[in-house]
Every structure is written in structure tokens, then in C-alpha cells.
Amino acid sequence: MEVELRHVRALLAVARRASFSRAAEELGITQPALSRTVAQLERIVGVRLIDRSTRQVGLTEAGADLLPYAENVMRELAQGLAVARKGGTLRLGFSWLLPDPWAQDAMRRFEDETGASVTLVRCDDPLEELQHHAVDVALVRGQVRRAPAGSQTVYLYDETRVALCSERNPLAQRDELDWADVPSWPLVVNTRSGTTGPWSFPSGEGPRHVVETANFDEWLESVAADRGIGIVPEVAQRRTSHRAVRFLPLTGAPPSAVHIVHLAAAGDRLMDRFVQAAVAAAQSTR
């Protein structure tokens, strides 16, 4: 029996999730099926790859040695498929509220010029999905802190920041908030796709109390529940309707950058055309 892609995917999923149940859920198969697939791979290789003796599943030394090669197999396959792709579909991953009018303009330019189409993929962490080849391009706001190895980051333009708070928060009675005063308030932070967090301030000058959330909806509802204030690009003020929060102008705040990130693949003409369309749309947006 030879190694198949399902074996490689199984190893990578278990390594990422450190759990057979979570890895099986990610792959959309049952846990027994995943266990059998991993066991098949171990028989083919002739060594144990997964350490099942501890409460948290982990890789053996042999598994850790094999992991980067398995990751490279999937990366090379994704790049090969990208090169072969012509008039197909490009998957754009985003976490919340695609920037407008940039997104609509970029997609229109790309689709008109290539005959290909853009599929929008909403995900909590576009960079993670890019690394797993679940999307072709990731839309990232703010700092690009975890770009996958071998990826390219393209700056597009800046968005203006605004503040928001619960209607019950004393800040709701103010007309505006200054950036220098943000650290004095508890700050609700979207740790996976947010634009503002402790990383936005010099060391030692950030907020004294941080409330962590994992996505935009959790972040918004935490602000509405008066767990703290939030900082967000102004697109949220235009496109978010929530009776329990109030938006305020944020003076003195640095802008929030918008980027796209994609895996580099020589000869991927479709990706090159999308990047060109994205940059052209950004220039019209500025």
C-alpha cells in the first residue's frame, strides 16, 4: 500500500489539533475512520508517528521529522493546482465586513478581465485557512502577525479607526475619544482577526485590562455587554446596526492597514491578475 493524500491530511490535522476528535471534525470524518487512516500510515512508514500515551495527542520524534515534509506536499500540490488553474475560481477568505467599495471593485475588475470568478469564504482566521489551503487569498486588516511561510503580503490602503462602547458605558456620553486615552479603558480584543489590541501600543503603554474574544460577533456582543470598549475600522460604524452600542470618533489614532496575503506560486497567472485588480481597486479607494 502506498501513501495517499488522505494519509497526509490525517497526519497534518492531528498535528494541528492535538486531538483525534477535533481533527476528525476538521476533516469531516468519524474518529474511528481517522484512527484507521493514521494507523495505516504508520504501518506504511514502519514507525509510530502519533504518541497516544498522554492525555494530549502529540507527534513522536518520527512524526515531528515527517511533519514538514507532509506540509510541503500539501503546499506544492496547492501551488501546482494554482498554476494549472485558468478560468476557474479563486477563493477569497475574510473574517468580517469586507472593505467597501474595494472588495466589489476588485472582484468586478478581476472577473471582467479573466472570466474567472471569486468565491467569498467567511472564516474566523483567514491566515490559518490560507496555511491549510482552504482559501487562495486572505484579506487581513491591521498588522499581519502570522503570515504562513512562503506567502506574500500586499499592502492595499488604510482604514480610519473609530471607537465604540456599550450604551451603558460612561463613555457613551462623550462626543469623542482620544487614542492616548484608550489604554485607560478595559479593551475588548478580537485576538484572531481584530485590528487593535495590546500589539497596537508601545511596550508597557497598552491597556491595563484586556477582554479576549475569538471573532467579530463575540467581540461586538462583549462590547454591547459592557465588558470593555472596542476599536474598529469605520466600516463597522456604517454597516453594523446594534441598539446596545454607540460609535464615537477616535482622534489621534493611527490608521489601520488592509492587506491581502497569498501563497507564492511561480507562474500562477490567475493570482497575479487578482493582485493587480486588488491593487488597482485600492488605488481608486484611497
pLDDT in tens, 24-60: 888 889 999 999 999 999 999 999 999 987 667 889 9
Domains of the chain listed by start with CATH number: 5-82 (1.10.10.10), 85-159+257-285 (3.40.190.10), 161-254 (3.40.190.10)
Q: What is the pLDDT of residue 72?
A: 86
Mean pLDDT of 102-131: 94
Closest CA to 99 of 280, 200, 238, 253: 238
Q: What does the pLDDT read at residue 267?
A: 60
**Number of helical (H) and strand (E) elements in the chain, helices listed first:** 9, 13
The model's confidence at residue 285, banded by pLDDT at 50, 70 and 90, is confident
Q: What is the mean pLDDT of residues 67-87?
A: 75
- In the prediction, which pLDDT does 258 show? 97
Instruction: Give the per-residue pLDDT at 207.
Output: 93
Q: Report, as an integer, the average pLDDT of 187-213.
A: 94
Find, among 60, 64, 73, 56, the residue nearest to 22 by Cα.
56
